[in-house]
Structure 1
Amino acid sequence: MTSSPALGVSGLTVRYGDTTAVDSLDLSIPAGQTVALLGPNGAGKSTVVNAVLGLVPTAAGTVEVLGGRPRDAVRAGAVGAMLQHGGLPSEARVGEVLDLVRRSFPAPWPLEDLVATAGIEGLLARPVEALSGGQRQRVLLAVALAGAPPLLLLDEPTSAMDVEGRRSFWTTMRGLAARGHTIVFATHHLDEADAVADRVVVIADGRLVADGSAAQIKTGTAARTISFTAADDDPLDVLPGVTALDRRGDTVTLTTGDPETTLRALLVEGRRLPDLEVRGASLEDAVLSLTRPIGADR
Structure 2
Amino acid sequence: MNTTIHTTHGPGPVNNAETTVIRTRGLTRNFGTGDRRVRALGGDAGVDLTVTRGEIVALLGPNGAGKSTLIDLVLGFTTPTAGTVEVFGSTPRAAIDAQRIGAVMQSGGLLPDLTVDMTLRTIAAAFPAPRDIDEVLDLADLTALRDRRVGKCSGGEQQRIRFALALLGSPDLLILDEPTAGMDAASRHRFWDTMADRAEEGVTVVFATHYLEEAQNFARRIVMLDHGDIIADGTPEELGDNGRILTYSRDGATCTATAEDAAASDALARELLADPAVSDLRISAHTVEDAFLALTGDTAHTGKDRS
TM-score (norm 2): 0.82
Shift of 1:67: 1.5
CA contact (8 A) 2:212 2:289 kept: yes
**Equivalent of 2:95 in 61, 73, 76:** 73
1:270 corresponding residue in structure 2: 276
Q: Secondary structure at the match of 2:30?
A: strand
Q: Secondary structure at the match of 1:47?
A: helix
Among the aligned pairs, what percent are the same residue? 38
**1:20 and 2:39 matched:** yes
Query: What aligned pairs does 1:123-202 form with structure 2 within 5 A after superposition?
Result: 123-202=145-224
Shift of 1:45: 0.6
Name the amino acid aligned to 1:226: L
Query: What aligned pairs does 1:253-264 form with structure 2 within 5 A after superposition?
Result: 254-256=256-258, 263=269
Structure 2 CA distance for aligned equivalents of residues 172 and 283 of structure 1? 23
Structure 2 CA distance for aligned equivalents of residues 227 and 126 of structure 1? 51
1:240 corresponding residue in structure 2: none
1:6 corresponding residue in structure 2: 21
Shift of 1:86: 3.5
Structure 2 CA distance for aligned equivalents of residues 218 and 92 of structure 1? 45
Name the amino acid aligned to 1:26: D
2:12 corresponding residue in structure 1: none
Name the amino acid aligned to 2:111: P
Structure 2 CA distance for aligned equivalents of residues 162 and 257 of structure 1? 36
Instruction: Report the CA distance shift for 1:2/1:269 in structure 2 as closer, same or farther (over 3 A).
Output: closer
TM-score (norm 1): 0.85
Q: Secondary structure at the match of 1:114?
A: helix
Instruction: Report the CA distance shift for 1:62/1:4 in structure 2 as closer, same or farther (over 3 A).
Output: farther
**Equivalent of 1:85 in 94, 103, 107:** 107
Query: What aligned pairs does 1:96-135 form with structure 2 within 5 A after superposition?
Result: 96-135=118-157
Query: What aligned pairs does 1:220-259 form with structure 2 within 5 A after superposition?
Result: 221-222=242-243, 224-228=244-248, 233-234=252-253, 252=254, 254-256=256-258
Structure 1 CA distance for aligned equivalents of residues 257 and 171 of structure 2? 43
Structure 2 CA distance for aligned equivalents of residues 29 and 74 of structure 1? 17
Query: What aligned pairs does 1:38-53 form with structure 2 within 5 A after superposition?
Result: 38-53=60-75
CA contact (8 A) 1:25 1:207 kept: yes
Structure 1 CA distance for aligned equivalents of residues 67 and 39 of structure 2? 13
CA contact (8 A) 2:21 2:87 kept: yes
Structure 1 CA distance for aligned equivalents of residues 204 and 155 of structure 2? 25
1:244 corresponding residue in structure 2: none
Q: Secondary structure at the match of 1:72?
A: helix
Query: What aligned pairs does 1:59-70 form with structure 2 within 5 A after superposition?
Result: 59-70=81-92
Shift of 1:4: 5.0
Q: Deviations over 1:199-226 (max 9, x none)?
A: 111111110111111111123x35x322
Shift of 1:113: 1.3
CA contact (8 A) 1:225 1:253 kept: no
CA contact (8 A) 2:61 2:224 kept: yes
**1:280 and 2:285 matched:** yes
Shift of 1:90: 2.4
Structure 1 CA distance for aligned equivalents of residues 257 and 293 of structure 2? 12
Q: Secondary structure at the match of 1:279?
A: strand
Name the amino acid aligned to 1:292: G
**1:211 and 2:233 matched:** yes
Shift of 1:265: 6.9
RMSD across aligned C-alpha pairs, in angstroms?
2.4
Structure 1 CA distance for aligned equivalents of residues 133 and 168 of structure 2? 8
Structure 1 CA distance for aligned equivalents of residues 148 and 255 of structure 2? 49
Structure 2 CA distance for aligned equivalents of residues 118 and 75 of structure 1? 24
Structure 1 CA distance for aligned equivalents of residues 249 and 151 of structure 2? 50
Name the amino acid aligned to 1:32: G
Structure 1, unpaired ranges of 5+: 235-251
**1:292 and 2:297 matched:** yes
